[in-house]
Amino acid sequence: ESEVPSFIASKVSQYSCQRKTTLNNYNKKFTDAFEIMAENYEFKENEVFCLEFLRAASVLKFLQFPVTRMKDIQGLPCIGDRVRDVIEEIIEEGESSRTKEVLNDERYKSFKQFTSVFGVGVKTSEKWYRMGLRTLEEVKANRTLKLSKMQKAGLLYYEDLVSCVSKAEADAVSLIVKNTVCMFLPDALVTITGGFRRGKKIGHDIDFLVTSPGLKEDGELLHKGLLLYCDIIESTFVKEQIPSRKVDAMDHFQKCFAILKLYQPRVDNSSNNTSRKFDMAEVKDWKAIRVDLVITPFEQYPYALLGWTGSRQFGRDLRRYATHERKMILDNHALYDRREKIFLKAGSEEEIFAHLGLDYVEPWERNA
Ligand code: 8DG
Ligand code: MN
Ligand code: MN
């Protein structure tokens, strides 16, 4: 027992890339509340307050014990007054009145419904809310709305898409994607990134990174055929481009936010053979699944892998750490050293951590 280092709150780094955060969360009660608060601020486009709650949630996810007294959080980074108030109330009352208020708030409830549709973000939700729309039923019934192709697909496959993707489904889709990609590109390297690479058992989508040693910039890969919906975004990467300093910047890879049709033979539970034929014709034997496909040049693969593995908070903190602690700029394409004015090459994620002077953090420890 004496081998276990005692916990020192003031030694906890403010950067989640210097903390190892597994899926084992002792403080879900608190972090769920913080995430609701953060989401509400996101809907109000208050980025500062939103990030404050997300950072606090990330710190509590790192703790190896459940917080039960205010003393437990003393000296921890990223715990401001707003956060402290929520913690105090949860400790004393078992729940937070502020969070409850948010959950009952009409605007929050509408935005929550609207943004659950693929292709609908805060901007669109804002527009619909201002038009007086409050529910998805009202959105669907409204004939004057001009929906994007993405939003139409989002509504069409809504039920399938809100039911989460399981690990088994992710594995099944992974086989399909690998086989299909290898028909076009035999030496392709196809990797699952996102939450599944971090060990999550469910996700809202499946993220894939595709590369190959001799990958040329062509759109051959992003073929239709197995895709129900596909929005191909062409690569906008310019060679030797200085990485973007924006913490939540999009990257420039060719990518595809797709919906895939996963056939899954239904288990026939009916013992009645007369109804069987009828059922087989009626029952839908597939599920619509959200898939992100990202195509990356081989040299940028480790950077893309690091960025697309997430978590989102882990990625934000890596970039923040690079900028503020190392005078470097990190994005999904490269790492640029501003003092030396050079790009730091890397052949693996380990090398990127080493360039940044950080201890390596395994994917399953990046659930910040
Ligand atoms: P989930 O799908 O299981 O709900 O969670 P996730 O896998 O962690 O989230 P995600 O939204 O699928 O995003 C995976 C990672 O990809 C996340 O850490 C952020 C990163 N990412 C980028 N660029 C982009 C982008 O352009 N769009 C999205 N959605 N994610 C991006 O690096
Ligand atoms: Mn994902
Ligand atoms: Mn994704």
Give the domain CATH number at 46. Answer: 1.10.150.110
Question: Based on the domain organization, do 175 and 293 belong to the same domain?
Answer: yes
Which CATH number characterizes residue 117's domain? Answer: 1.10.150.20
Which atom of ligand 1 is nearest to 205's Cα? 2
Does one domain contain both 152 and 88? no
Q: Which of 239, 273, 298 is the last residue of a domain?
A: 298
Q: Is residue 2 part of a domain?
A: no
Residue-level pLDDT at 183: 82
pTM of the model: 0.92
| Residues 285, 221 share a domain | yes
Distance from residue 121's CA to the centre of ligand 2 (Å): 16
Spatial CB neighbours of 302, under 8 Å, sequence gap ≥ 6: 346, 347, 348, 349, 351, 352
Which residues fall within 8 angstroms of residue 368, CB to CB, at 6 or more apart?
Answer: 16, 17, 19, 21, 58, 61, 62, 311, 313, 314, 317
Q: Which residue has the tokens 């989002």?
A: 154
293 and 171 in a single domain? The answer is yes
- Tell whether 207 is in a known binding site: yes
**Confidence band of 281 (pLDDT split at 50, 70, 90):** low
- Strand locations in 44-160, DSSP E? none
Q: Which residues surround ligand 3, an ion (CB under 5 A)?
A: 205, 207, 292
Residues 28 and 74 in one domain: yes
Say which CATH number the domain at 243 has. Answer: 3.30.460.10
| Number of domains forming the structure of the chain | 4
Same domain, 72 and 32: yes
Q: Which of 155-159, 177-181, 240-244 has the lowest mean pLDDT?
A: 240-244
- pLDDT band at residue 224 under the 50/70/90 scheme: very low
Give the integer Cα–Cα distance in Å for 40 and 45: 9
Residue 355 within a domain: yes
Quick one: 77 and 196 in the same domain? no
363 C-beta closer than 6 A to ligand 1: no
User: 296: Cβ below 6 Å to ligand 1?
Assistant: no
Residue closest by Cα to atom 1 of ligand 1: 203
Query: For residue 324, what pLDDT is reported?
Result: 98
Instruction: Map residue 286 onto helix, strand or coil.
Output: strand
Which of 209, 247, 292 to mutate for ligand 1's pocket (most ligand atoms within 8 Å of CB)? 292
Residue 292 shares a structural domain with residue 183: yes
Q: Answer whether 194's CB lies under 8 Å from 173's CB.
A: no
Confidence of residue 232 (pLDDT cuts 50, 70, 90): low
Domain of residue 321, CATH code = 3.30.210.10
Same domain, 80 and 171: no
Q: Which of 205, 291, 316 to mutate to test the pocket of ligand 1 (most atoms within 8 A of CB)?
A: 205
CA-CA distance, 305 to 209, in Å (whole number)?
7
* Domain-embedded: residue 3: no
Q: Looking at the structure, do residues 53 and 67 belong to the same domain, yes or no?
A: yes
Three-class SS state of 123: helix
Domain hosting residue 352, numbered range: 312-365
Q: Which of 14-23, 212-221, 352-361 has the lowest mean pLDDT?
A: 212-221
> Does residue 268 sit within a domain?
yes
Residues 26 and 96 in one domain: yes
Closest-approaching ligand to the CA atom of 293: 3
**Residues 177, 56 within the same domain:** no
Residue 195 CA, ligand 1 centroid: distance in Å? 8
Residue nearest to atom 19 of ligand 1 (CA): 312
pLDDT over 80 (residue 257): yes
What's residue 220's pLDDT?
A: 54
Residue at 306 is within a domain: no
> What's the confidence (pLDDT) of residue 278?
60
